[in-house]
Chain A
Amino acid sequence: MPRSFPIIWIAAFLVVIGVELFIIDNLDPYVVAIIIYAGINIILASSLNLINGFAGQFSMGHAGFMAVGAYSGAVVTMAFRDNYPAIFNEPALQPFVFIAAIFAGGLCSAAAGVIVGLPTLRLRGDYLAVVTLGFGEIIRVILLNLESVGGARGLTNIPGITSFFWVYGFVLICLFVITRLVDSPLGRSFLSVREDEIAAEAVGVNTTRSKVTAFALGAFFAGMAGALFAHYLRVLSPAIFDIQKSFEIIIMVVLGGMGSISGSVVAAVFLTIIREALRPLQQITGTDYRMVIYSLVLIVLMLTRPRGLFGTKEITDYLPERWKARFGVRRVSPKES
């Protein structure tokens, strides 16, 4: 780990504050909405990448984790608003309530991640994929049956607190934790599980712990993203978190490259923008071809560039040599086979 690390993160944080204070109000609200969704998608994609890309497990239930976080986060703020209006309406205290809500969302989701992770460790590859997909569906069916959070009618009147600052503040936290993690011994153990589980076990890696940690952390950040999402959209319904949502996040991870954090970031931003950028096409043709294009891109990508755009490399790997030192690039990317 380079000694220069904090500078770039602190600089990024200052940029976020600067944008929030001086730029965001001058932008078109539609553009702001896209930027915010892009941020939420960055968290979702990079957290799924932790599970799918780094630990080599294939989870298809990320929307389920997101749902757990979204609902529990929303319930926390709404409980505060209804039971302790004095605290909630105090501008100095509200951010703390909000942070608590987001962490509550993350923690509930992490708990769900452990619950799914522990028993399914015996499974590999395809089975795990289907079990996690099933888990996502189970969450959705449970939410549909929970009258206390509105059931099919959904949860409405969630306070709209999420702003650019909150989203990108948490984006930075998420990216910071994940980048630090993959360079840590624990993160290396993820990679070893991905590359060869049996060999990893043989050299003394606790594969069980690695896998559960990956699941829990990935779920934690997905839950945070869900809570941010809930406080931006202001309504939740179980239908939002369907299989298709999970697929969308997977597409981001795959497009960016499984095992590349910057790849996930770039892909999340790109796919969020392209969704909206393709709208004019829809107005010209009168038909919505977006999902058809999406799925074709996914197939063609797998056929022509199966490792995604970045493979396991990071964006910093493409920098000129003399810059690398300055940005503290140190990762030795596993060689592309």
Chain B
Amino acid sequence: MVTAKKFLFALLAAFALTLSGCKKAPGGDQSADAPIRVGEVGSLTGLEATFGTSTHQGIELAVKKINAEGGINGRKVDLITLDNQGKADEAATATTRLVTQDGVVAILGEVASSRSLAMAPIAQSYKVPMISPSSTNPAVTQQGDHIFRVCFIDPFQGEVMAKFALNGLKIERVAIMTDVKNDYSIGLVEFFRKNFVEGGGKIVMEQSYSNGDTDFKAQLTSIASHNPEAIFVPGYYGDVALIARQAREVGIKAPLLGGDGWDSPKLLEIGGASLNGSYFSSHYSPQDTSPRIQGFIKEFKDAYGLVPDGLAATGHDAMLVLADAMKRAKSLTPSDIRDAIAATKDFPGVTGNITIDENRNARKPAVVLKIEDQKLVYETTINP
């Protein structure tokens, strides 16, 4: 009885606390030297926490760098990061909170397309620009004219690997393993298959798995009997590393091909020697000697003690593109920032020169990396 009463009081107090956040206009404090608020929504816990964490580190590093260099026209950037536990509904609520409570001028996020798709209608309805670092589903930026991305989309990356397999590796017989739990993998497979078959190649076997599985021997045993020249596995690095190990265990010698989901030092650590001779497309090559890439890698290592993966790089670029747009924007209102992002042209990011096209997608080259002796080696660059 007493507990119930106390509880009701606590409830009322919590209610009052939530309601007390009074209504603020998007854009927040516009006084001359107040920090500029930028929001980030990411999966920092939950099943996909590893991707959210990498992206967050990339963004955080970019913010530190921008602020150390004097901020945007003298104003510091204040990054507000909200976790969504890998859930679409949490991502949507977090976006609403960032816009209406924290008054951010722009939003960065999400990695997964399914969550970006939940956030985009909200950002669009408040006319706050949103940049997704790495959602590759074409539908994301079709949600409205305030939604951008700094990564390439599924059709381009699928085409890159198909062309590379046909023309670079000169192979014709490929098996495919799709991660059916992962829209990104499904998208890449669709466009890889289309381009590869049109180019005269043959898909000898298609298998699938679900992200998080650990045993792939059944699929690989079936694939082995078809003797493909390569296996296209556009999944996430954790799964791919185990697939590579088990492919060798069932006696497959053919190389594996994949996309930017592979890009993590963990891939080589877990996969070990079994990945030697495999190729994947990604955003940048760590071997690139240009100072902006080596600088990024060094700063990232100093800050977090590890080599940045592909998602850290795209997260970093999303923030840099936004900062660049804010510097160019007529004023720091969300609509002016939106216009400036849309006008981004040849911005020198870590992941290449980024141009935002009329569909608000990034146009930039993809690099193909080869794994040799458990190290990444630059193979070639493919332009859109």
Contact = CB atoms under 8 A, between A and B. Distances in A.
B176 to A, nearest CB: 16
A235 B88 contact: yes
A237 B121 CA distance: 16
Given A152-B182, A233-B89, A273-B18, A29 B118 contact: no
Interface stretch (A47-55, A97-105, A277-285): A277-285
Nearest to B182: A152
A269 B183 contact: no
A309 B18 contact: no
B83 A288 contact: yes
A298 to B, nearest CB: 15
Contacts of A279: 82, 97
B339 to A, nearest CB: 24
A288 B100 CA distance: 21
B89 A153 contact: no
21 contacts: A27-B19, A28-B21, A28-B23, A29-B100, A33-B93, A33-B96, A34-B93, A37-B93, A152-B186, A154-B114, A154-B117, A156-B117, A233-B118, A235-B117, A236-B88, A239-B181, A240-B88, A266-B7, A270-B10, A273-B18, A288-B44
A234 to B, nearest CB: 6
Interface of B: 1, 3-5, 7-8, 10-11, 14-15, 17-19, 21-23, 44-45, 47, 80-83, 85-89, 92-93, 96-97, 99-101, 113-114, 117-118, 121, 137, 139, 180-183, 186-187, 210
Given A33-B93, A310-B4, 14 more contacts: A33-B92, A33-B96, A37-B93, A144-B180, A144-B210, A153-B186, A153-B187, A235-B114, A239-B86, A239-B181, A240-B89, A269-B11, A270-B11, A288-B44
A183 interface: no
A30 interface: yes
Contacts of B81: 283
B17 A277 contact: yes
Given A144-B181, A151-B186, A239 B114 contact: yes
B8 A234 contact: no
Nearest to A292: B45
B180 A152 contact: yes
Given A29-B100, A318-B4, A288 B18 contact: no
Pairs A-B, 7 closest by C-beta atoms: A153-B183, A237-B114, A288-B83, A30-B100, A235-B117, A152-B183, A28-B23
Nearest to B8: A266
Given A229-B89, A270-B11, A29 B96 contact: yes
A160 interface: yes
Q: A-side binding surface: helix, strand, loop or mixed?
A: helix
Nearest to A36: B93
Nearest to B187: A153
A4 interface: no
Interface string A310-327: 100001001000000000
A273 B17 CA distance: 10
A276 B5 CA distance: 22
Contact of B88 (A233, A276, A277): A233
Given A37-B93, A156-B117, A291-B85, A30 B21 contact: yes
Classify chain A's interface size: 35 or more
A237 B88 contact: yes
Interface of A: 27-31, 33-34, 37, 144-145, 151-154, 156, 160, 229, 233-237, 239-240, 266, 269-270, 273-274, 276-277, 279, 282-283, 287-288, 290-291, 305, 309-310, 315, 318
B54 to A, nearest CB: 16
Contacts of B114: 152-154, 235, 237, 239
Nearest to A152: B183
Nearest to B185: A152
Contacts of A315: 4
Contacts of B45: 288, 291
A29 B22 CA distance: 10
A65 B182 CA distance: 23
A152 B18 CA distance: 34
A154 to B, nearest CB: 5
A144 B8 CA distance: 41
A145 B181 CA distance: 9
Nearest to B81: A283
Given A233-B89, A291-B45, A273 B96 contact: no
B363 to A, nearest CB: 23
A318 B3 CA distance: 12
B14 A277 contact: yes
A19 to B, nearest CB: 13
B35 to A, nearest CB: 14
